[in-house]
Structure 1
């Protein structure tokens, strides 16, 4: 009889049957509206919609409500007593529907002052954003609920300055497949995400890198076009030696690009710590870079010219595999198949990039061989342990390389830089693009070097055992002789 009475109470309060879970004795437990097992996985609309919702939809009440939906429905009706009872039973005050809307959003839209006070007293997130980036304060102001708006403002609410992103779609059905709900990203506590920077976050339990577009950039067409261009490039590529794209936030502010996390940072910082690399590591790293660049250059119908290849844009994963990143940051104008030019004057990019090909610096027409030039300088840095002409000022180095045609001396011993590797570097940074090899040719030559030197025993001494390991092996060998 006790079970029957509990069932009756549950049905009268419009709990969905899927919300019944047996834990010891029969009890009702909240079921999230995101549960994929729900058969009625459609958006439930309560009264007025988000002020940023591109489509005004008529309110609808579902036949079956789980506890989250019931909380939102009571917020729409202004049923403070019913909400207080649900909250006492442990319902999360910040529960959201499929549009990311909380009870506070809905109460603010409807102008229920007492309900808003109740929710705030129960620690409702006053800055929670729905899938369009709207907050409760923004919705209250949009619908003219002055008292609610003033209450929220007095409690510290801030109305978003940007109501729509430049990439917002008018129809929710047109939201891109790669779109990520920003509420799923977990940043470090107290971190200001409104920065044009890269930050580490957790997404679905996995560490990712999030590139965030600064909020002041939304009115600048150049920044927005650069963001779109980088996003379009990342959507095209998938290769073990190219950075992996996970998703993006384009319908909410701030706009973000989400990619894989590399715990060891970039090649530039790695070289600063390690200094000069051994030959076997130089060849292995070079092959990784060449494979990633060759994939970009072989993309159809047009090659992806990096145009800004440098150690900072080469990332190391946990297994010391290198991955090319940073492509698509510079907007190019297509001149002909395989030929391009900077879309903007050189003042719009970093003039002090030490790895820039002379054609790029002089704003001339160029092809994918500009990346081979940068690759030659990166090869030199891995062998030397420091950038070309270090520690000369960057502006002097750029003039030497791009205008005067001077190259850093290859004063390496043959053990550090064999003649065939020395010849490859010279060809890569040649002033004549026709002499520079393609990355397909570079891969063949590097693989041959790696094979030849390993056969010749050039790796001798690379894998030396520490003294304590040797002594342990000797003791084991002596013990087995008796």
Structure 2
């Protein structure tokens, strides 16, 4: 038998156009599409890593080119560090300014909990410190994970530079005094403190699932039943603070990054660095205007921004924004610079409702609108909010029960009809029923 000198058929030339009916044409197109997608993905990864390298090197022009081409300014490496972290470490003021101009997250936390400002303080880059604080970076209270009596704990540390600032020392001791009084499932548990030596520290329970801000970034929008569950956690913790005896406690900086998730997935209110106690009156008036270093502008009530007297209802305003963020999948006015957002609140503008109407069923939208009312006295208390949320939660559960019930009925009917087809005696006996 004559052997084929060329057992493998010759491959088609890729230089020539193929038949539109060739069986390999779709496979080739799919392979080409996959290759192109992989190439694009690799190019994006390379550009992000390039951004990190150039930020470390202080290459302003190279960074401009990458950012203008669409590279993600908030890319985080394996240690969750951003280009802003690296530029802050190096003291590259121009690079820091450029990154901030492109909406870099000013308080991004790496895997160890450090922010760009904390890094700038550690490396004594004073110009960068001023620039970051101007853009709303929080004071350098740094969280670390440590072992205490054989268990993991969170340690909040204030550096030596805080001792020269009487206001910060007083705020730290006020936070300690508050934490010592608190015992609630939805409030972070205080464990101990170091106050007589430098650095001063507060030790609290460690919640490894991290803050709610990171969770929302991963999940985007939440289902209504999940959002209501989290909202109840927040409301219960805040109600405990507001009804605390003998003095009510105002958090004043309620935002997703100050809410932590425990092992069971429930939320706990944390970070009382700017909280206030209503000791002798029903309202508070600051001696100086609140700055973006004191509280997040994106979640601040208008009366706080205007430096007016305020009460516990400022936390209700912040709560409304967080609840809406859970449904919408993005922070309030996410496309606006943070320092512009409170001006919108003052002019009575609120984040738009873009999610489908069914996601705001059973009065959820109306509750949010009441909570962010421009007039504080019209906002409900957290005790009232809990009652409303419980009612919404029950209605959501009832709807789910009916859906499952309808489905089971359908399955039972389908099974009966199947048995009826297979067993004529059932059909004949059932036909005699009157």
Establish whether residue 433 from structure 1 lines up as the match of residue 376 from structure 2.
yes
Corresponding residue for residue 389 of structure 1: 333
1:283 paired with 2:228, answer: yes
For this pair of structures, how many residues does the alignment match?
270
Check 1:321–1:384 CA distance in 2 against 1; reply closer, same or farther (3 A cut): same
Structure 2 Cα separation of the partners of residues 230 and 377 of structure 1 = 24
Q: 1:229 to 1:369 in 2, by over 3 A?
A: same
Distance 1:351 1:256, change over 3 A: closer
Map 1:270-419 → 2, pairs under 5 A = 270-327=215-272, 329-330=273-274, 332=276, 336-347=280-291, 349-350=293-294, 353-401=297-345, 403-419=346-362
d(CA) in 2 for partners of 1:297, 1:395:
28
Asked if residue 455 in structure 1 is aligned to residue 406 in structure 2, the reply is no
Matches of 1:248 and 1:422, distance apart in 2: 42
Is the 1:313–1:325 contact (alpha carbons within 8 Å) kept by the matching residues of 2? yes
Task: Return the structure number with greater helix share.
Answer: 2
| 1:446 to 2:364 alignment | no
* Offset from partner CA, 1:317-350 (integer Å, 9 cap, x none): 11111000122x2264858532112243223744
Q: CA deviation at 1:231?
A: 0.2
Distance 1:282 1:352, change over 3 A: closer
- TM-score w.r.t. the length of structure 2 is 0.59
Change (3 A) 1:398 1:345: closer
Q: Deviations over 1:206-232 (max 9, x none)?
A: 111000111111121111101100000
User: Using a 3 Å threshold, how does the CA distance of structure 1 residues 429 and 453 change in structure 2: closer, same or farther?
Assistant: same
Instruction: Indicate conservation of the 8 Å contact 2:250/2:275, yes or no.
Output: no
Residues 349 and 332 of structure 1, relative CA distance in 2, 3 Å threshold: farther
Does the CA-based 8 Å contact 1:388-1:408 persist in structure 2? yes
Gaps (5+ residues) in structure 1? 1-186, 462-482
Q: 1:334 to 1:284 in 2, by over 3 A?
A: closer
Ranges in structure 2 where 5+ consecutive residues have no aligned partner: 1-111, 113-118, 123-139, 405-434
- Cα RMSD for the two superposed structures: 2.4
Distance 1:294 1:380 in 2: 19
Superposed CA deviations along residues 169-226 of structure 1, whole A, max 9, x for unmatched, are: xxxxxxxxxxxxxxxxxx9xxxx99874100111111111000111111121111101
Aligned-partner SS, 1:304: strand
How far apart in 2 are the matches of 1:458 and 1:351? 42
Q: Distance in 2 between matches of 1:212 and 1:309?
A: 21
Please say if residues 288 and 321 of structure 1, whose CA atoms lie closer than 8 Å, have aligned partners that are also in contact.
Answer: yes
Q: Deviations over 1:145-170 (max 9, x none)?
A: xxxxxxxxxxxxxxxxxxxxxxxxxx
Residues 200 and 343 of structure 1: CA distance in aligned 2, closer, same or farther (over 3 Å) = farther
- Bigger relative CO (Cα 8 Å, ≥ 6 apart): 2
**TM-score, normalising length from structure 1?**
0.53
